[in-house]
């Protein structure tokens, strides 16, 4: 079984398991989506949602966060990991959005990735979930699963993104990225499946006997 054959099997299982999928991070607009994705680094989506549900009621525009200032932003997000670094990024990216983009979130990868605290993965999520542009955000969890499922050789997240984009049709990328995240959390857990027990692993590798070792991102 080659990569393309495994990709087709995986797509069928994921579509059957998650025919309808929702974005796990709550947001009010594209700007708050950007902020939530930035906050989610080294933090669970549940924690981010719990913290932001009271913030976004009052503060949901770059102008709001510029007016708040770094210290007040820190106090608002202090339950989030590395909150001081994230507060600094939020404050300065908000200033840039107000000054350079008239308070709007830019719609290109290059412009997004130039914002403080915004890497390629964060930009990909905003482009796909915020603007509907075909993108395939790769985090450490998808990187791990792609290796378990034989979709990539696992050198790094850049290589994994390239390999997955080659194997799956562009029209499926935005939905597929979310389906993989949900499936990994529910069925193919890092310290549970080990590439041996979930339906995708057993279907793609029915003769696998030993836990699969994955290369970290």
Q: Where in the chain is the domain with CATH 1.10.1670.10?
A: 3-21+136-204
Q: Where in the chain is the domain with CATH 1.10.340.30?
A: 30-130
Residue pLDDT, tens place only, 57-74: 999 999 999 999 999 999
Output the pLDDT for position 101: 98
- Clarify whether 78 is annotated catalytic: no
Please give the helix or strand (H or E) that residue 184 lies within, else none.
helix 173-186
- Clarify whether 121 is annotated catalytic: yes
Choice among 139, 162, 170, 199 that is catalytic: 139
**How large a percentage of the chain has pLDDT more than 70?**
100
DSSP state of 171: G
Q: Which residue has the higher pLDDT, 108 or 190?
A: 108
The rounded distance, in Å, linking the Cα atoms of 194 and 156 is: 19
140, 180 in Cβ contact below 8 A?
Answer: no
The rounded distance, in Å, linking the Cα atoms of 25 and 31 is: 13
Residue carrying structure tokens 């050198």: 155
**Which of these CATH numbers, 3.40.50.720, 3.30.70.3420, 2.160.20.10, 1.10.340.30, describes 30-130?**
1.10.340.30
Instruction: Indicate the average pLDDT of the chain.
Output: 95
195, 148 in Cβ contact below 8 A?
Answer: yes
**Surface-to-core class of residue 87, CB atoms within 10 Å of its CB (0-12 exposed, 13-18 middle, 19+ buried):** buried
pLDDT, average across residues 174-186:
96
Task: Name the band, by pLDDT with cuts 50, 70 and 90, for residue 179.
Answer: very high
For residue 217, give the 3-state DSSP assignment: coil
pTM, full prediction? 0.92
The rounded distance, in Å, linking the Cα atoms of 41 and 53 is: 18
> In CATH, what class is 3-21+136-204?
mainly alpha
The rounded distance, in Å, linking the Cα atoms of 48 and 36 is: 7
Choice among 100, 121, 155, 209 that is catalytic: 121
DSSP state of 79: T
The rounded distance, in Å, linking the Cα atoms of 90 and 57 is: 17
Residue pLDDT, tens place only, 126-157: 999 999 999 999 988 899 999 999 999 988 99
Residue carrying structure tokens 């562009």: 170
Output the pLDDT for position 191: 85
What angle, rounded to 10 degrees, do the helices at 3-17 and 173-186 form?
Answer: 80
Residue pLDDT, tens place only, 91-133: 999 999 999 999 999 999 999 999 999 999 999 999 999 999 9
């Amino acid at each position: 079984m080659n990569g393309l054959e495994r990709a087709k099997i995986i797509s069928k299982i994921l579509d059957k398991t998650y025919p309808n999928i929702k974005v796990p991070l709550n947001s009010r607009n594209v700007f708050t989506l950007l902020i939530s994705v930035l906050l989610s680094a080294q933090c669970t989506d549940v924690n981010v949602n719990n913290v932001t549900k009271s913030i976004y009621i009052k503060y949901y525009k770059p102008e709001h966060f510029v007016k708040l200032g770094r210290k007040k932003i820190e106090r608002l997000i202090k339950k989030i990991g590395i909150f001081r670094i994230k507060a600094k990024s939020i404050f300065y990216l908000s200033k840039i959005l107000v000054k350079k983009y008239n308070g709007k979130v830019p719609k290109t990868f290059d412009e997004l990735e130039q914002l403080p605290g915004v890497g390629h993965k964060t930009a990909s999520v905003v482009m796909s979930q915020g603007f509907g542009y075909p993108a395939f955000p790769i985090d450490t969890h998808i990187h791990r699963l792609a290796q378990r499922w034989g979709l990539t050789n696992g050198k790094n997240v850049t290589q994994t993104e390239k390999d997955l984009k080659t194997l799956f049709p562009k029209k499926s990328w935005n939905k597929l990225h979310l389906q993989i995240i949900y499936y990994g959390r529910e069925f193919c857990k890092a310290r549970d499946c080990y590439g041996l027990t979930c339906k995708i692993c057993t279907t793609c590798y029915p003769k696998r006997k030993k836990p699969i070792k994955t290369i970290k991102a």
